[in-house]
Structure 1
Amino acid sequence: MIRIISWKKTNQDSQKLLESNVTDVNSYLNQINELNKEIRSVSAVGQTPNDLMDKRDNLVDKLSEKFGIKLDRDKLDTINLSSTEYPDSAFVKSDPNDTDYSRLSYIDTVTAATDSSGNLTGDVTVKYYPLGNENSTLQTVTIKTGSATDAKSLKDELTQCRILITDKDGKLTMKDSSNKEVEVGDGGTVSASQLTELKTKIFQTYKYDTSSGTAVNNVDNNHVKGDIAANQSVQETIQGYMDNLDRLAAALGYSVNALQVGSLDTANSSLSSSELIFVTYDETNKTTTSTDKGLTAKNIRINANLLADTSKLNCNTSSASGEGDGKRANAIANLNTIKMNFSNIAAGTDFSKIDRKSFLTSVGMSGTTGFSDNDCLKLNAGTTGSTVDSYYKSVINNIAVATQEASRQQDSQEDILADIQDQRSQVSGVSLDEETTNLIQYQHAYQANAKVISTIDELLDVVINGLKK
């Protein structure tokens, strides 16, 4: 549980970094836009605003660290700027009178509506800070996806990306029936027919997106760029590790509970749910529940009833609580020898919808009850898969390998970056040796010119003074 909380905190930190990225990007874009106007006005009178263009270039460099930059130079030394990932969304325009440009806004929360049975209804509610400013009023937009599948997919995507492409004031806009951009105000609704367009408003830079059937962005998967892409993609990696721990916790909790109460199926248990060994934790009420449905690494807890009265532990060969021959306790201890097909639980599975029977059946436990009281341990496990112990070690080993690979790639990319920066400096930078050489040449040329002028002056003096005499 400690590790899952740590990873969840890391995930939240990456999301807060995205908020910081949004405010930084908007600040850079606003400064570039103002410099663009000043450069245009100076160039219009025939002067060259070198200082202003240097400042703009420095800001463009900083902006390029966040995402890929698409820059086109226009007349009067102005520029048009957009991202390589979303080239159709202009961030800076060369015409100072054209205010139809975009900015980024930060998504604070994303929730998917459910019915009384806990099933998704298809509605997704997004709350976002315009321009990433936490001091501004949260804007709420409801998206009608039309299906539970689309709702879950959209919720996951928005939660990971956390960034919307909005107008210059931080308002989400969509095209109406006349193909005109109109604002979706606070409390507004996006229809299912607008879902494809909405996808183009999600600033996703860490992978190429064709989820709507057509290309949504223009990401090169072999050359992903910028801090924003890194902060977006790392959440998917962390979520994968959290899913692994959820599988592990569910496998342990459900199999132990099955032995404790005498059934894979909660409905056919010979003991009450209050005698489960592992139950879930209700974060809303800050109490443990009396059920094991939806076990994860984050919410798994030992049943408080058993902690208060250990006589409720089932230690008999038969399904009855209390002191006994200990065979059931030995069966629980021997769970480390049972193999389970953890890979049958797909990535992104909603563990809150899984119960004991569905999980254990998925990982290879067959049959209605799974075991009998006569020999206590017949979970009918398969011969393929991993034991709980080996699966945990595999997860830890994979993290270690991924960490080493990330470190290696970082060192490699830093070397490549340094080399590219050196090449750039050779073209655009100032060479002190070259400038010193030029200075010496100019100095000698000046001295030579001065000597010529001095000689001519002497000759003229001789001629003029000689004629007077």
Structure 2
Amino acid sequence: MRSTFMGLETSKRGIYTQQSALYTTGHNISNANTLGYSRQRVNMQATSGFPGVGLNTPTMPGFLGTGVEAGSIQRIRDGFVDHQFRSESNKLGYWESQTKAIGQLEDVLAEPSAYGLQGALSQFWQSLEGLASNPENGGARAVVVERGKSVADSFNYIYNSLKEIQGNLKNEIDVGAKQINSVLKQIGDLNKQIGEVEPNGYMPNDLYDERDRLLDELAEYFPIKVTYDESGGNALKIAQGIATVQIQMDGEFVTVVKGKEFAEMKGFYEGTGDTPPFSNVKFGKLDKDGNLTVQYDKDMNVVPNSATDAEKEAATYSHSQLLDAGRFKSLINSYGTDDGKGLYPENLKKLDQMAQEFAKAFNAAHQGDPTGNPPVYATDLNGDPGEAFFVSKTGDPITAQNISINQTIADDPNKVAASDSEGKEVGNGKNAQKLGEIQFIPLDGLGNKSVQGYYSGDIIGTLGVKGQQAINMTKNSATLLGAVSNRRDSISSVSLDEEMTDMIRFQQAYNASARMITVMDETLDKIINGMGVVGR
């Protein structure tokens, strides 16, 4: 037999459930602008009907409904869209970093402009043309010396500026590694908290959101794979579970988070100096000074000290095993690796090659070869043989960093070898003309290209193509990421209009349940206080 107060209980459940829905709506509205928040909903379900199943169950036409209950509070999320978002975020992180690195390099080279190396070279060639017309003119000679200094200074400035940016890239790599380790630790901590909540039958939706936000951040640095394991106990079937995070390498996955345990990453460099090339990464545990004290293999098992060199090597991942995706690999590709590759090392090498071949060709013409057959003469205003015009500041082979004008010539512009005569011939400026024509001469050390052609083609032109590619890929990646982000927002983000509509729905349902209680109260009042009073 049903309870006299069954109707009150049914309506009470309705009030409680609609109240939970209103509270959840309020939570959604409060977090409408919270980064990474996913809207939540109450999954309402009908309670078991009356009567229950059993031998003593009374016979009646069908089950009588007993109301509603909140089965669970679930966040609205699409795992496939999350995977797409992280994949596109990974690509955008790579190309954004490439665009920035190339842009900084282009800013230093400052081409095309009147203030870069190309402008300095053009002015130097022009000064030699002027000297060829007036070889005895002291002002023309002084101009050649000053323009030569400007060329050397331009080489020095560009080299030192690029090395400074390269050093900043190294700092970015190291800071990025620390940020990655911080994210991995936070994911492990969240796994621990989630593992303590889920077995009790609760849904830690806000913890899920924070973990997903951290996974999004990690995906900017590396291509990742995320899987989930059940936490056990009385966990709900829709509970997300404990995340296992892996970084995708060339041909394998390296586990970096497993439950509450996490690995830390350490980058290693090969060589000495301020900008030693990047070599490899290892995963394990770091001490407070950032030194690797415990090394893990790809499954997060400890590599013992007694392990063979081959086993330790298998748990060491060279830069070439990192996929060309993500901000971290992009920084490495810009900074430079131990195989000599990298945006900045390659351009520094080209700049050194250009400075060396330019100085070699110019010095050869400025000094002549009086012992040759036939002899080639190059003499200054005093009739003395020409000296090396460009020299090294340090005494080492000439590079873009150390190239300088010969101090003897800088102190006495009359020592510029403008003549091609054997003795003193004031009006002869033919050698100055030859010096100016070096700009058009193909040089073997520059791939049979002239100095100007090598700089504008192999350095500036190649960099321009890479820069344009990086910009285009950044735009394409940003567009694709924006489309996926919009799709994810349409699923998971809070719509205030929708929440206001839900608020009205739940409020009206709450009011209806409350009104039902009033009706039941009046009914019971009539039964209790009004029945059995006839004839009194």
By the TM > 0.5 criterion, same fold? yes
Whole-angstrom distance in 1 between the partners of 2:409 and 2:294? 56
Amino acid at match of 2:171: K
Map of 1:65 onto structure 2: 220
Determine if the alignment matches structure 1 residue 89 to structure 2 residue 234: no
Whole-angstrom distance in 2 between the partners of 1:163 and 1:31? 24
Amino acid at match of 1:391: Y
Determine if the alignment matches structure 1 residue 110 to structure 2 residue 270: yes
Residues 174 and 74 of structure 1, relative CA distance in 2, 3 Å threshold:
closer
Residues 405 and 42 of structure 1, relative CA distance in 2, 3 Å threshold:
same
Determine if the alignment matches structure 1 residue 181 to structure 2 residue 342: no
Map of 1:279 onto structure 2: 391
Contact 2:377–2:421 under 8 Å retained in 1: no
- The DSSP-based 3-state class of the residue aligned with 1:297 is coil
Residues 343 and 240 of structure 1, relative CA distance in 2, 3 Å threshold:
same
Residues 442 and 175 of structure 1, relative CA distance in 2, 3 Å threshold:
closer
Determine if the alignment matches structure 1 residue 243 to structure 2 residue 398: no
Whole-angstrom distance in 1 between the partners of 2:218 and 2:296? 29
Determine if the alignment matches structure 1 residue 428 to structure 2 residue 428: no
Please state how far the C-alpha of 1:311 moved relative to its aligned partner: 5.4
Please state how far the C-alpha of 1:253 moved relative to its aligned partner: 0.5
Whole-angstrom distance in 2 between the partners of 1:45 and 1:14? 47
Please state how far the C-alpha of 1:251 moved relative to its aligned partner: 2.5
Please state how far the C-alpha of 1:404 moved relative to its aligned partner: 4.0
Please state how far the C-alpha of 1:269 moved relative to its aligned partner: 11
Match of 2:166 among 5, 8, 11: 11
Match of 2:242 among 69, 78, 81: 78
**TM-score (normalised: structure 1):** 0.62
Whole-angstrom distance in 1 between the partners of 2:370 and 2:480? 56
Amino acid at match of 1:327: K
Amino acid at match of 2:256: F
Whole-angstrom distance in 2 between the partners of 1:264 and 1:181? 68
Range with bigger deviation, 316-325 or 24-33: 316-325
Q: Which runs of 4+ in 1 moved over 6 A?
A: 172-176, 268-274, 319-324
- The DSSP-based 3-state class of the residue aligned with 1:89 is strand
Identity rate of aligned residues, in percent? 25
Please state how far the C-alpha of 1:276 moved relative to its aligned partner: 1.6
Within-5 A mapping of 1:303-318: 303-310=406-413, 312-317=415-420
Contact 2:386–2:417 under 8 Å retained in 1: no
Please state how far the C-alpha of 1:25 moved relative to its aligned partner: 0.9
Determine if the alignment matches structure 1 residue 201 to structure 2 residue 201: no
Whole-angstrom distance in 2 between the partners of 1:7 and 1:446? 68
- The DSSP-based 3-state class of the residue aligned with 1:447 is helix
Contact 2:184–2:263 under 8 Å retained in 1: no
Give CA-to-partner distance per residue, 1:335-363, whole Å, 9 cap, x none.
1221235663xxxxxxxxxxxxxxxxxx4
Whole-angstrom distance in 2 between the partners of 1:45 and 1:339? 78
Amino acid at match of 1:30: K
Q: Structure 2 stretches of 5 or more lacking a match?
A: 1-154, 232-240, 336-341, 379-383
Give CA-to-partner distance per residue, 1:277-323, whole Å, 9 cap, x none.
112232xxxxxx2x7x3x22222111223324555544443678997
Please state how far the C-alpha of 1:444 moved relative to its aligned partner: 2.3
Within-5 A mapping of 1:53-452: 53-76=208-231, 77-85=241-249, 87-94=252-259, 96=260, 102-107=263-268, 110-111=270-271, 159-161=276-278, 164-169=281-286, 170-171=291-292, 181-183=303-305, 194=310, 198=313, 201-202=316-317, 204=319, 209=320, 216-217=321-322, 219=323, 221=324, 224-225=325-326, 227-235=327-335, 236-262=342-368, 275-282=387-394, 289=395, 293=397, 295-310=398-413, 312-317=415-420, 325-340=428-443, 344=447, 363=448, 386-394=449-457, 395-452=459-516
- The DSSP-based 3-state class of the residue aligned with 1:443 is helix
Q: Structure 1 stretches of 5 or more lacking a match?
A: 112-124, 128-157, 185-189, 210-215, 283-288, 345-362, 364-385
Residues 390 and 437 of structure 1, relative CA distance in 2, 3 Å threshold:
same
- The DSSP-based 3-state class of the residue aligned with 2:266 is strand
Give CA-to-partner distance per residue, 1:179-213, whole Å, 9 cap, x none.
982459xxxxx99x75x964862463xxxx3xxxx
Between structures 1 and 2, the one with greater helix share: 2
Contact 2:177–2:266 under 8 Å retained in 1: yes
Contact 2:357–2:446 under 8 Å retained in 1: no
Q: How many residues align?
A: 347
Residues 163 and 26 of structure 1, relative CA distance in 2, 3 Å threshold:
farther
Please state how far the C-alpha of 1:275 moved relative to its aligned partner: 3.0
Amino acid at match of 2:439: N
Residues 270 and 335 of structure 1, relative CA distance in 2, 3 Å threshold:
closer
- The DSSP-based 3-state class of the residue aligned with 2:531 is helix
- The DSSP-based 3-state class of the residue aligned with 1:104 is strand
Whole-angstrom distance in 1 between the partners of 2:368 and 2:484? 66
Give CA-to-partner distance per residue, 1:208-244, whole Å, 9 cap, x none.
x3xxxxxx45x2x5xx22x212212223223333333
Determine if the alignment matches structure 1 residue 50 to structure 2 residue 205: yes
Range with bigger deviation, 239-248 or 296-305: 239-248
Map of 2:195 onto structure 1: 40
- The DSSP-based 3-state class of the residue aligned with 1:23 is helix
Task: Say which structure, 1 or 2, has more relative contact order (CA 8 Å, 6+ apart).
Answer: 2
Residues 334 and 416 of structure 1, relative CA distance in 2, 3 Å threshold:
same
- The DSSP-based 3-state class of the residue aligned with 1:298 is coil
Amino acid at match of 1:25: I
Contact 2:385–2:417 under 8 Å retained in 1: no
Whole-angstrom distance in 2 between the partners of 1:41 and 1:403? 49
Contact 1:256–1:277 under 8 Å retained in 2: yes
Whole-angstrom distance in 1 between the partners of 2:370 and 2:204? 77
